[in-house]
Amino acid sequence: MKKIFIYTFLLSSLISSWGCEKETYPGAQISPYVAIFDVRNLYRGQDLVLNNDNLKGGHSLAAMVVSDHSGGNLPEGLLVVQDARRLSTLRGISIPLGADATSFVPGDSVIIHIDGKTLSRVNGILEIKGVSKGDIQKVSSDNVIPINRVTIGQMQTNPDAYESVLSVIVKGTFDPLPQPTDVLAGDKTLNDGFGDIILHTEAGAAFANNAAFVNANYFGIAFNSEVKEGQLIPQFRVRTGSDVRELSSQIQVAPVLITGFMSDVAGGDGNYEYVQLMATTDIDFAQTPYAVVVTNNANASTPTGYPSNGWATGNMRTYKFSLSTGTAKKGTFFYVGGAGKLINGSGSTNISSSNWIRAFDYTKNDGDGFGLKTGGLFANSGNASGVAVFKDSAVTASSTPVDVIFIATGGSLYSGNKGYRIASTDFYDIVNPITMAQQPFYRQGSNTLSLVYNTADLGYFNMLGGVYNPALGKWVRARAQNNRLLTKSSPLSDIEGEGATVLK
């Protein structure tokens, strides 16, 4: 007991001594470099002189130059730099440097002394004023700047976070579509499926008279304007002509869209699962047949392994519905699935009055051409399921769908040339829009996006929504998973009332 008392006393004394010296870290030094993230967070609507106190002992930025004035399209005299020093979070800031801004080019690594300078928002753009060329030390050149893919929706939601940051808007399309003689000069509405932004090109820019492409990637920098106190509106500017990279000059309209599906009703699934679709043009299926294929990659589904025949694998992996009778008008929903034609399984609302193009009891009948009778079209294991629409009643391993959606990522899905082919949609790209590499399969390259698997037996309808513009051949508001928990008495309006829209 005496020894225990002595040890306790010594430990208490040691803890006490640590407490007295808690501000002392022998050998430690405060970093002289401040993250742009932290500098931007200092601004509270009024000019602020940066000093040792509010910079927490720092005095400089260690950043990468992203501005390029050779094209004549950035705000004159602004040096734009970015870093990701705080929590790997990329942030940028602009520095009014006058004519000296042209002395620096993208890829220059610089150290900028900011102690004593002023943080100010000028015409909507957050700037550090008072910096001279003498305050800037160039450390190295020709550094690689990582590609930062950003949606227009992200820029609109948080304009301060993306201001003065080099970003790429992928699959941008002008609305309205450019005419063959249209050029980049001026203000044009750019849409990427997640929102609209003004792409501004100065009349005097070196590339102002370059052709306006139908579909392209746009590398550039967002700058904000302040329309009223505290409200920032982003505007996007490319730096040079090479920042605009054409993807396609052709408009490809998807004639049928996947707009929702019931993959797991409340109770037994057999004969009650269905897919909701929408026509983007008037369709007579007797004249233009289609096919809808569902894939189930649960561990028990055979054949196992990677699907060498893709959507045409059959057996327990894929199940086909051939659409060869009936019609669907542009902008209207139609359905494919079990003969039950009930909204949420046994005993639920009858929706047989809807436009059912193909429905039969898949628990008793094999698919149209391939697929064995099954108690469930979709996987309930958390492994991947998917739906694809084909503009043909014949589906082979080489068939490319007009639309496709996947749920979850588990199972043997892609290896080499074995897998499920995708369409270029709001979710997937046959050609990688950044690297331009071919990637025709789900789980290949950037084709990794999927919907989330819902808990089994609750009766969630997966409403995807979105707005599709046939004139542009794209989703101008991308689809997103909106889980609607249905009851046995839910009306049809619960799955159609706020669903997808096709513009006229």
3-state secondary structure of 301: coil
Whether residue 234 contacts residue 156, with contact meaning beta carbons closer than 8 Å, is answered with yes
Residue 274 confidence (pLDDT): 98
Per-residue pLDDT of the chain (504 residues; tens, 9 = 90+): 333 333 333 334 433 333 344 444 455 578 899 999 999 999 999 999 999 999 999 999 999 999 999 999 999 999 999 999 999 999 999 999 999 999 999 999 999 999 999 999 999 999 999 999 999 999 999 999 999 999 999 999 999 999 999 999 999 999 999 999 999 999 999 999 999 999 999 999 999 999 999 999 999 999 999 887 778 999 999 999 999 999 977 888 999 999 999 999 999 999 999 999 999 999 999 999 999 999 999 999 999 999 999 999 999 999 999 999 999 999 999 999 999 999 999 999 999 999 999 999 999 999 999 999 999 999 988 899 999 999 999 999 999 999 999 999 999 999 999 999 999 999 999 999 999 999 999 999 999 999 999 888 899 999 999 999 999 999 999 999 999 999 999 999 999 998 999 998
Rounded Cα distance between 433 and 431, Å, is 6
Helix (H) or strand (E) holding 244: strand 244-248
3-state secondary structure of 342: strand
Residue 121 confidence (pLDDT): 96
Residue 27 confidence (pLDDT): 55
| Token pair in block for residue 384 | 């991947």
Residue 504 confidence (pLDDT): 84
Residue 365 confidence (pLDDT): 98
| Token pair in block for residue 322 | 């051939």
Rounded Cα distance between 63 and 76, Å, is 20
Residue 457 confidence (pLDDT): 87
Residue 105 confidence (pLDDT): 98
Strand partners, 59: none
Residue ranges of the chain that CATH labels 2.40.50: 36-140, 152-248
The domain 252-504 having CATH identifier 2.60.40.1260: the answer here is yes
Domain with residues 152-248, CATH architecture: Beta Barrel (2.40)
How many Cα neighbours within 13 Å face the side chain of 33? 12
Residue 26 confidence (pLDDT): 53
Dihedral (Cα; 44, 50, 54, 59), 10-degree rounding: 140
Rounded Cα distance between 293 and 132, Å, is 64
Residue 456 confidence (pLDDT): 82
Rounded Cα distance between 500 and 467, Å, is 6
Q: Where are the beta strands (DSSP E) in 12-69?
A: 48-49, 60-65
Domain with residues 36-140, CATH architecture: Beta Barrel (2.40)
Rounded Cα distance between 269 and 279, Å, is 26
